[in-house]
A = this chain, B = another copy of it.
Amino acid sequence: MKEAGDKRICIGILGFGNIGVGTYQLLEMNHSHIKETSGLDFEVVRILEKDVDRPRPVQVAPGLYTQDADSLLTTPDIDIVVELLGGIQPATDFMLKAMAAGKHVVTANKAAVAAHFPELRQAAIANRVLFRYEASVGGGIPILNALTTALTANRFIEVKGILNGTTNYILTRMAEAGLSYEESLAEAQAKGFAEADPTADVEGIDVANKLSILISLMFGERVAPEDIPTVGITGITPKAILDAAADNSRIKLIAHAKKTAAGIEYNINPMALPLSHPLASVSHEFNAIFVTGDGVGDLMFYGKGAGPLPTGSAVMGDIIEIGKAMAKNSAYDPVVPGGPLK
């Protein structure tokens, strides 16, 4: 068996937008540190990207770019395929093809993971590769890792999450600066916290993808994102914000799931949380996930839910864990983490 230390791990990146650049940048920045602490030499050897001329804050050798997906998905010189295209297709088919070819897959793509969770996980097991998606929920916050490793002695009871930085920024600014929804949205767009078409964020669609993934991991049940009753924040008025403040509360867009005797209850709603609740003081673009387990009790994880480097931290964390498992010939999941989906 190869000892760690002489192990070079070759990465192919699908899509070189913000998260791809953040991942590349973090690896470049900390390459020697990662090599020293893991004994592994990670290298990006190919990038699938059409728009090679877009100005980016990293220098990439032009020879790394390709427009031939198969040169990442099926060639033997790639160990880990990192899917950062976004959107359900062709991302999902690319991930399935890569796993069928024996590649490990890392993704930040909540839409694809939420839409095809069972198939993607089964593909990893069937092909004896690892499939990891930490960055798909909570950006840089290592919540999925905690749920699937350190906390697995617990039966989970409940999760409440602020899972979308755009809507949390808008609600925070409405409360602290007395802005209307429209004014706050315009400010978020000007600062780059909201997209030109903010629908997926403000209507809760992005949050539904993330809650679907959390429900799968915490409760072992598959709930499609479109089946989660979801109310966004477009109807929140300055009066509602003021009424909450007068009641020592703050309105937050909360993704909620709870185990009950009748089954799993779930929904996404703006909720007034008392200031004493740890989620109430999660402000601006920050995210937080509050989980309750039958052993550990209440836990909260707080951090940056988006941004190139924080999300890159989660992507690189998955890559490094896969590399460590490769060095031990243990890069496969023998059992479905979280149990078989019902």
Contacts and interface: CB of A to CB of B under 8 A. Distances in A.
Nearest to A318: B150
A56 B318 CA distance: 41
A240 interface: no
A307 to B, nearest CB: 8
Interface stretch (A59-67, A114-122, A205-213, A324-332): A324-332
B327 A329 contact: no
A320 B149 CA distance: 8
A193 B268 CA distance: 37
A334 B3 contact: yes
B145 A150 contact: yes
Contact of A317 (B151, B337, B338): B151
| Highest count of chain B CB atoms <10 Å: which of A155, A303, A328 | A303
| Copies of the polypeptide in the assembly | 2
* Shortest Cβ-Cβ A-B pairs, 3 listed: A153-B316, A142-B150, A330-B330
Contact of A313 (B22, B140, B154, B302): B154
Contact of A327 (B141, B142, B298, B334): B334
Interface stretch (A33-41, A78-86, A177-185): A33-41
A151 B38 contact: no
